[in-house]
Amino acid sequence: MNDYTAHVDTFARDNLPPRAAWPDFINLDQLGYGPRLNCAVELLDRAVEEGDGDRVVLRSPELTWSYRELQAHADRIARVLVQDLGLVPGERVLLRAPNNPWMVACWFGVVKAGGIVVATMPLLRAPELEKIIAKARTRLALCDTRLLDELASAQHSQPLLERVVDFNGGELERLMERHPAGFDALYTAADDVCMIAFTSGTTGQPKGTMHFHRDVLAVCDTFSREVLRPSRDDLFMGSPPLAFTFGLGGLTLFPMRARAATALVEQVAPPDLLAAVTRFRPTVLFTSPTAYRALLDTLDPADITSLRLCVSAGETLPKPTSDAWFDRTGLRIIDGIGSTELLHIFISAAGDAVRPGATGVAVPGYEARVIDENGAPLPPGAPGRLAVRGPTGCRYLDDPRQADYVVDGWNVTGDTYLQDEDGYFWFQARSDDMIISAGYNIAGPEVEAALLGHEAVAECAVVGSPDDRRGEIVKAFIVPREPAAAGDALAAELQAYVKQAIAPYKYPRAVEFIDTLPRTETGKVQRFKLRQLELERARG
C-alpha cells in the first residue's frame, strides 16, 4: 500500500484490516497501473479526451447521454458536493436510486471529487439503511426523489446523516444549475478507497467491503476484457441493481472501459425486461439464472435476436436452464461466480469453453483451488472450500469476520466446490447460512430477527429450501406461542409482517409450524438438520 493518499478524511484507510490480514494480491504488475489514478478519470474523462465524447454511453426510456454529457453532469455534481455540501476527500456519500442515468452520474461525481461511494439497494428499508449509515459513517446522501421516505426515516434514527439531497427532478439539479461544467478530478492514489459495497453476513449484520480505484479497473481488465471481450459497438442491458457489484460491473464499468454503451431500465420483471430488449436491441445481457428460467416462459413473441452474449451470476446456473436457453436461443449463457468481497466474477468461461453445469475456470489474473478444513489443496473430484486470489480481494470495513474470509492469503468464499481434472469448477453448495434466492443474498438470521418481532412467534429458524425456479426460497420453521393459532392465516400475517420490517424480497415464501426446533446439547439451533430435511423432501 502506498504511503501517499489524497484523502483528508482518513476514516476508510484507518479502518482497513491490518495488512497481515489482507489476501495476497497477485498479477497487479501485469495490469500496469501506476501509484496514482482516479478510476472515474480512466473510465469517463479519458473517453472524452481521446475523441469519444460524442459516443452514446447511457440510454434509458427517458434519456440518452453521450460520454461528454455524462461527464458534464458528473462534473457539476462533483462541484455541488465540494462547493455546496462541503465534501472532504475520503468522505463517504450514500447513493440510493434505481438503475437510471442519474445514479451513474452521481457515482462518477462522488468518485471524481475524491469521495467514497456507498451505494444502497432501492428495496432496503429504514432499519437496514440505518446500519449502513452507522457503519460507513455517512454524513451526505444523494437519493432519487421517489425513494426518500425510507431514507428520511433512517435519518431520523441516525442524525449522523446530516444532509440528503434528492435528484431526478429534485434539489440536486437546482444546485447543479449554479455551476459550470468542468471539474479537475482529485488526483487519488491507486489504493485510495473509492467505494464501500455492503453485503449481509450470516448474522444479518452488514459487512462493508472496501475497494480501491485500482480494483474498479482490475475487474474490467480481467473478467470483462479476457472473458466477455466487449467491443465499442456493444450495448449492455440487465436486471441487477447498480448498488450490487454484479450490476455495477456489468451495466457501468465494463461497457465504459470498452467505450460501449448501456441501456438502463428500472422495471426488470421478465416481461418488462423482454420488452426492453425488443426496444433497445442490446447485444449483452446480464441477469440471474432465475431470470433466465423465467424468461424462457415468455420469450415468444419477443425479439431477442440482437443478443450475442448472455451473462449469469448471483447463484448457480443449473445445467437444465443452460441447455434450455441454448435450445431456444442458440446462445450459451456465460456463467460466473464472483463476490462483493472480490468485486466481480473470478471464475467463468465463454464460447466453446463453456461446459454446462460447471461454473468455469479461473479468470485470467486469478487463481482458484479447492481446500480442506485445514487449508490444504484437495485433489480433483474432492469437494471442499473454494479459495481464490487475484488482483482484487477482501478488505472488510472494521470487521472481525475478515479472519474468516481471508485464510493464509486466500479469499475463502463460503462456497463448496469440486474441481475436475481439466481445471473446471463445479458448484456443490453454500457453506454457511446464507440463502441465495433468485440472485439475492439473504441472511437467515436477519429474517429470524424480523419474525421474532411478532408477538405470535416464540422461536424460529430460517433456512434455504430447494426451489426449481429460484434456486432456493426462504423457509421459516416457526414455533408459535399459541399452537392453536398455527395455520395459513398466521403464516400470511407473518409474511406480510416481515415485508414491512425488512426488504420485501427477504420474506419467507414458505412457513412451517413445528413444536420444537432441533438443538444441540448446549442449546444451539441445528439449522443443518432443517436444511437436510428440505433437501430430502425435494428429492422425494
Domains of the chain: 216-432 (3.40.50.12780), 434-539 (3.30.300.30)
Provide DSSP, 87-147.
--TT-EEEEE--SSHHHHHHHHHHHHTT-EEEEE-TT--HHHHHHHHHHHT--EEEEEGGG
pLDDT in tens, the chain (540 residues): 777 899 999 999 999 999 999 999 999 999 999 999 999 999 999 999 999 999 999 999 999 999 999 999 999 999 999 999 999 999 999 999 999 999 999 999 999 999 999 999 998 999 999 999 999 999 999 999 999 999 999 999 999 999 999 999 999 999 999 999 899 999 999 999 999 999 854 445 789 999 999 999 999 999 999 999 999 999 999 999 999 999 999 999 999 999 999 999 999 988 999 999 999 999 999 998 888 988 988 898 889 999 999 999 987 788 888 998 999 999 999 999 999 999 999 999 999 999 998 999 999 999 999 999 899 999 999 989 999 999 999 999 999 999 999 999 999 998 889 999 999 999 887 776 678 898 887 878 789 889 988 999 988 999 999 998 899 999 999 999 999 999 999 999 999 999 999 999 999 999 999 999 998 654 678 888 999 899 899 987
Cβ neighbours, 10 Å, residue 81:
27
Judge contact between 1 and 189, C-beta under 8 A: no
> What is the model's pLDDT at position 1?
73
29 SS3 class: helix
Residue 394: all three cell numbers together? 477482501
What is the residue whose three cell numbers read 450490476?
Answer: 247
Residue 95: all three cell numbers together? 447513493
Cα separation values, 279 from 133, 265, 269, 276, Å: 38, 11, 15, 5
CA distance 53 to 48: 4
Residue 508 burial by Cβ neighbours in a 10 Å radius (0-12, 13-18, 19+): buried
> What is the model's pLDDT at position 523?
64
Judge contact between 475 and 464, C-beta under 8 A: yes
Sequence-distant (≥ 6) Cβ neighbours of residue 514 within 8 angstroms: 477, 478, 479
Q: Angle 67-79/101-112 helices, nearest 10 degrees?
A: 60
> What is the model's pLDDT at position 520?
62
Phi, psi of 113 (to 5 degrees): -80, -5
> What is the model's pLDDT at position 29?
95
CA distance 441 to 462: 14
Backbone CA torsion sign across 474, 243, 2, 4: negative
Judge contact between 379 and 391, C-beta under 8 A: no
- Bridge partners of residue 371, in order along the sequence: 377, 385
> What is the model's pLDDT at position 203?
46
